[in-house]
Amino acid sequence: MATRHVLCVHGIGKHANNWIETVDDGDISFKDLFFDRWNNLNNSHNYLPRHDIQLHSIHYDDAIIRLLNNWEEQLTSLSSGLADIPDFKDHKAFFDDVIEKSKLANDEKQTYIQTHLLDLLMFAGLYSVQDSIIVKVGNQIGDIIQNHVDKNRGDKVVVIGHSMGTAVTEKALKALFNETVTVDGLRYKLKGNDKLLAVMLIANVSYTLARDRSSFYQSIFRPGTGETQIMNHLLNINHKLDVVGQFLPFDPYRYNPDWITAKHRKRYQDVQISRLSSKNVHSINHYFRDPKVYLPVFEILGGRPISTSVTDFLLLDFEAQTPVGTFKSFQTSLDNLDVTNTASMREFYDKAVKMHQRIEEFRQ
């Protein structure tokens, strides 16, 4: 039986090299949660997949840590870098103030600023950070393709990116396919016959962190069956209460109505969820508990359709386990942030900080 290799690219925050095996939201690792849902589908609902599944941890924390050994120098470079990006420079004074405060913040607050919000700005604003991460991630993807897919007939790759990992995934794949992103140090170049089976972007910030948004949707980073598309399927996943994915959301048809030809439109799935199963709204585990998130990718991985009756059962079961009342006041608090009405990076930053504060308040 052929294998589907699922390459998992982490988001903002600190992660171990084998981060998919580290306990996360809900006292369970992403790998264990993934296979809990996968095995439940197979064993309890008689789903018979055509393929085996193997998860791989794609990591880049060491690339950031190496660059941030001299934190204050990097922050000074970031201030200069943001001034060169049209969508950031209008609020340079605000971000300069944030950068200065981050140098003086207490340990808890500084950890959050450094490992969450400033990670995003570092990736967008500093070529040294961005290129280092692209090389690190691109070579890991290339290694897996060379060591598994190229040697085993029928094996294919699916990439799951979360949070900042969505932008990392998008840029690394473009670099590997030698399209619009060029960096030194990549050991691999992929071609049309290396097309990925699917890419799943969870809490998608790939458009938010684009340096040139005007041409973002003109690239080959789109689904289809031809050699001019990077993947067969593309899944865009966001939660309506997650600030990170809602600011400047991935919305290809808004900017390019001809982004995908009619015959390929079913290969793009835009999945918007709203159910709360945890107060850690942004966690990849929080997303992946929801059948609306995992069932579409499981169907692609398994190579067989999942029946409507099974889908309906799993959705109803999930909703029964996550009663709205449990999180009613928390949801109201996040609704009041109005993340869909955020017009600038400054507002986005402010609301992201507030979301973090409210999560901590409700945890207590």
Full DSSP string of 264-304: GGGGEEEEEE---S-S-TT-HHHHHTSHHHHHHHHHHHHTS
Residue 156, helix vs strand vs coil? strand
Going by their DSSP bridges, the two strands 23-24 and 28-29 should be labelled as antiparallel
Instruction: Please name the residue ranges forming H helices in 55-147.
Output: 61-67, 71-82, 86-89, 92-104, 107-112, 118-125, 127-144
Q: Let me know: does 336 contact 308? Beta carbons within 8 Å.
A: no
Q: What pLDDT sits at residue 170? A: 94
Q: What pLDDT sits at residue 115? A: 47
Instruction: Look at residues 47, 59, 80 and name the one whose alpha carbon lies nearest to residue 17.
Output: 59
Q: Write out the chain's pLDDT in tens, 364 residues.
A: 899 999 999 987 778 999 999 999 889 999 999 999 999 999 999 999 999 999 999 998 876 666 555 555 555 665 566 566 555 556 566 566 666 655 555 555 454 454 455 556 656 555 656 788 889 999 999 999 999 988 888 999 999 999 889 999 999 999 998 865 667 788 988 887 778 999 999 999 888 778 778 888 988 899 998 877 899 999 999 998 887 777 778 999 988 888 998 889 999 999 999 888 888 888 999 999 999 999 999 999 999 999 999 999 999 999 888 766 667 777 777 777 665 665 666 666 677 777 777 777 666 5
Q: How far is CA 49 from CA 301, 306, 307, in A?
A: 8, 10, 13
Q: What pLDDT sits at residue 4? A: 97
How far separated are the first and last CA of the chain, in Å rounded? 48
The angle subtended at Cα 262 by Cα 214 and Cα 216, nearest 5°, is 15
Domains in the chain (CATH in brackets) are 3-363 (3.40.50.1820)
- Could you identify the residue written with the tokens 């001809």? 258
> How far is Cα 19 from Cα 303, in angstroms, rounded to an integer?
27
The angle subtended at Cα 135 by Cα 130 and Cα 137, nearest 5°, is 95
> How far is Cα 154 from Cα 141, in angstroms, rounded to an integer?
17
Q: Two tokens at 18?
A: 């084998």
